[in-house]
Amino acid sequence: MMATPSEIGQETIQEIEEYILSKLPRVLEQDTRFALFLERLLNEKFPRRDEFSQMLAEMRQMREETNRRFDKVNSRIDKVNSRIDEQREETNRRFDEVNSRFDEQQEETNRRFDEVNSRFDEQHKEMLLLKRDVIRINASQENLLRRYDGQEAWFKVNLGDFRNLKGKKLEEMFAAGLRYGLGDPDISAGQIRLRQGLRDEVFFPRGTEVDVVARDGELIVFEIKATGHEDDVSLFSQKMRIFRDQHPGVRVRGVLACMGAEHLRERCLEEEIELLA
């Protein structure tokens, strides 16, 4: 039988919260499928630059409102009004379900995250803040903290959020983001070569620029787009042909990063371009 709010005391609520906080880090650490699943959902649904900028403003406002409500609940938990009773009952119901079936019903946990994903377009700010809070709670797990820093750098690179960074600091941010985006932990700031000139008498007589990761035996030419179109693939493919012609005998990889551009996957495969969508 489900317990009512009047039957659950402050001590029980604290036990539930401590249980969730103690179990969730272990699940993220031991079940890589769970972490990868959450990562894939976020990558597939992350908004374009203009949408993200608008969401940031809305997210700040939502965060302030959320903090105000939680402060009110914590300070008046013993004298809740009718509206907080409804919210507390729903929260307790969800925590009771998680507490009773967490270890045995991983499928149920995945279903809930699927529901979160279905509401992602309406709750961008809440989801991003939740992910950040979860990672900070588990800050003692060094591998998760490095993953968070890399993801944050990758988001900034995709959004063009350079905050007036120049020189070495800009290259360090690109390196951190590319380590995460390309899944390559060996990329360093010293290997980043931004805005390298590329010239061709037919297609680029006035010259153009490419960004490159240069390391022993390999050159990675990468281009980041806020939105993706087939013309972008064609233009980047032409740059790659010229770049390869100018670097014979060297392995050259072309990487096009564009969140939400899964529709360009087949076109990129035709041009031998790696797509990070």
Same domain, 173 and 86: no
Query: What is this structure's pTM?
Result: 0.43
Query: What strands, in cross-sheet order, belong to the sheet with 192-200?
Result: 192-200, 204-215, 218-224, 251-257, 274-276
Task: Looking at the structure, tell me whether residues 30 and 114 fall in a common domain.
Answer: yes
Query: pLDDT tens track of the chain, all 277 residues?
Result: 455 555 667 778 888 878 766 876 777 677 777 667 656 766 666 654 556 567 677 777 877 887 888 788 777 776 766 777 777 888 778 767 766 665 677 778 778 767 766 665 566 666 656 666 666 655 555 554 455 566 776 777 666 665 666 667 778 887 888 888 778 888 888 888 888 988 888 888 888 999 999 988 899 999 988 788 999 999 999 999 999 999 998 999 999 988 888 999 999 999 999 998 7
With CA atoms as reference, report the closest residue to 226 among 157, 152, 159: 159
Give the pLDDT of residue 250: 92
- What's 186's domain CATH number? 3.40.1350.10
Same domain, 208 and 267: yes
Q: Are strands 192-200 and 204-215 parallel, antiparallel or unpaired?
A: antiparallel
Do 117 and 226 share a domain, yes or no?
A: no
Q: Residue 57 class from Cβ within 10 Å (0-12 exposed, 13-18 middle, 19+ buried)?
A: exposed
Count CB neighbours of 256 within 10 A.
25
- How many domains would you assign to the chain? 2
Structural domain for 207, as ranges: 167-276
Q: Give percent helix, percent strand, percent coil of the chain, each to the nearest 5.
A: 65, 15, 20
Within a domain: residue 240?
A: yes
**pLDDT score, position 164:** 66
Beta bridge partners of 274: 255
Evaluate whether residue 146 is within a structural domain. Answer: no
The verdict on 20 and 125 lying in the same domain is yes
